[in-house]
Structure 1
Amino acid sequence: MPFRIALSGLNAASTDLEVTGNNIANSATNGFKESRAEFADVYASAIQDTSANAAGQGVRVARVAQQFSQGTIDFTSNNLDLAISGQGFFVLEAPDGSQAYTRSGAYSVDRDGYVINHANDRLQVYGATTGVGGVTTFNTGVLQDLQLPTTPSAPAPTTSVSEVVNLDSTQAVPTTAFNPADPASYNNSTSTTVYDSLGNAHTATMYFAKTGANAWSQYLYVDGTNVPPSGQASGTPFTLTFNSTGGLATVNGGAATNVTADPYNPGNGAANITMDLEFAGTTQYGSSFAVNNLTQDGYTSGRLAGVDIDTEGVVFARYTNGQSSALGKVALAKFNNQQGLRQIGDTNWAESFSSGTPQLGEAGTSSFGQIQSGALESSNVDIAAQLVNLITAQRNFQANAEVISTADTITQTVINIR
């Protein structure tokens, strides 16, 4: 019997060595979670005899328990590297359609624009939708693959131009009729770039000419062609009047601060450009002419320039035209018993009966952690502790081997009795 008891000890010590060795081997594996061998004693019966002197039958491995403590977060230069600070797992879809869960966030892009890990598993996100007023929301009921755009983004024509300028009240009224080629016929000018429906750029120039006390005219030219107010004849200016304190009083005789310009035909197959000119904030003070703000809402087409991911997991695509758009929101999963997850390799886990079903959510909500872009979670293995465990497992193995040696000596002694 001592042989079998010692043999169970050797097997347990060997398992302990295997677990410790695996921890040490994966000490540099991103997202790896160390394991711990747990043991239980063995008795022939669960009910001890009345003398309470029943000898044990050895030891067995009760379980190899995974330890899901937080690993150190190391920063990288790749925005697609992701780390979770807190609870949660990234959700992956394998090529065979099955789902896996991981803490390893080293991702890249395949030739079709899908964000994948080294095993070609695709990162899962909640899809982005644009609602009323351009507000972006996320469909948290359905998971989908995160795919970066591989084609240029569509252009958007200019529909609104906002002008916030200060017109110098001390300037004199020009004495000659307005002519864009004659600087003496107007007081000041400024310009901006506007875009047609094909994304072609056009230069819009605004000329300001004082017409009297607290009264100004603005002439709008696009690519050298006059664009009057809507429904007016060519050459008709936009009129601005100011009150005695320099504030804007009327635009084209009305109380509204914006007015629509006549459609402009760019002549290149694109649709006509129809713009609203917004003058709110324009003033007439006794100081030099100044352009405080001049913006428009159009843009040309652009190619993907980069990807940004915020702490809530929202993935933004940045384009060369200065625009950005949300592509999705990284989905996270948690389990009632994460130690019950089944290890499937490649630093991935799969759902099991013991773990329970995954609970999906968003970073920064409920008990889910936050996502750090440009960072990776390192292994939570403590090398110093593992080396101590290695020594302990080795001593246990040697001690059990000594039990076998001693039992063998006793048995040999009995055999040699004459």
Structure 2
Amino acid sequence: MSPQPGEDVSSPDSIRPSGIASVFRGLTGSKSTKSPPPLSSSTAALPRTDFSNAVPISSRGLSANHMDAFELLKHGSQSERISAANTLKFAISGYPLNPVLEIWYAAKDLIEQSKPNAMRQAGWELLTECVKHSSSTDLERKEYFQTVAAPANPDDFHLQLAALVDLTNRGRILAGFDYELLPLLTKWLQDAYNAARTARRASQAARGQRSSKNKAAATGEDQNFAQLFAFILDVIKFNFNPADEKSISDLIDCLLDICMSTSVEEDLRSCISVIDAIVTFGSVPSSKLKSTIQVLSSIFCLVQNLNDESWNTLSNLCLSHNGQAAVRILLDVLRNPSANEVSSKDMGRDFRGALAVLQRLLSKTKQSGYPPCSICASGRWLIQHPQNLVIAKDLLCYPSPHQLSIQR
């Protein structure tokens, strides 16, 4: 079990040659009965909370075997460093007292983009063990975050994401980088989507298939994309408060862009889940409310398989403090349809969605919590243009199941 913060630094009394100190040294594997030498100046420069009474790494939990591996990690050949990294990753989790930060500094260059694949993998696995250490200070955690967040080889994204998930304990602990995480995840989400879309196209081209994208085999990039969505959900669920309005707005923009460009149902479902988490655990910024409602309404109207998920999120919006604003946005779409929306063949994505959602709301307004939904003003537009009564009726009919994309 890892010690509580502060327990890895010995006090001046603990290094005196007393009986208790001897027993303690025996438990940690040290055979020496002499007082340890003073801390070197290079180690003292590391950003620990207090190094005044620290002891050298040989007395802090690593066996002689692991000390040899530590030296090879710093100064060995490529193969020796890989072997040393694989050895030390078990030492970090198995020994309660160990020089985690020293190992981190010695190993962080292993994950550089230019390094061979085997070296990068060994480096990421070792660094992942380092970030799990519970006694790390906020300063150390910030440094871990900056290293993990730095640009890495695209082939290592699953390892990079795993390290960040472990550093945050699946979104529960953000100490040291509270305000920096969500902007990073937004960038990663856009990059992961682009990578997944490129991989899907390449996979289809290789097989020469013309079938629906939904039937394409899942790629590694798809798995990365899905895992990133799951992590974002955890972060919003456990740590929404540190997120500022700009960070949330940027994330919503990214989600809506994905919705408007993808034709993969699972992508839409994942985006809806994150938007719903924002509505549930926080709030949609007022500047993004209109675009969010319009896209969700379009999905509700056009994608039958996601009817329940999209309505659930729209319902949560209507039951929130944004309920009246949501209804006004839907009514405004009907009151002020653009020329393109009135004359186009499908009457416009937004117009179709607004009609479908308002129809559903009319059956819900008597229930407690839903805002009143008056369509008198919008009805005047339909009455003044009787031919549109027939069009509006047609708009409320769902498209065929294969019509999945919500692009214009």
TM-score by length of 1: 0.20
- Bigger radius of gyration: 1
Larger RCO: 1 or 2 (CA < 8 Å, sep 6+): 1
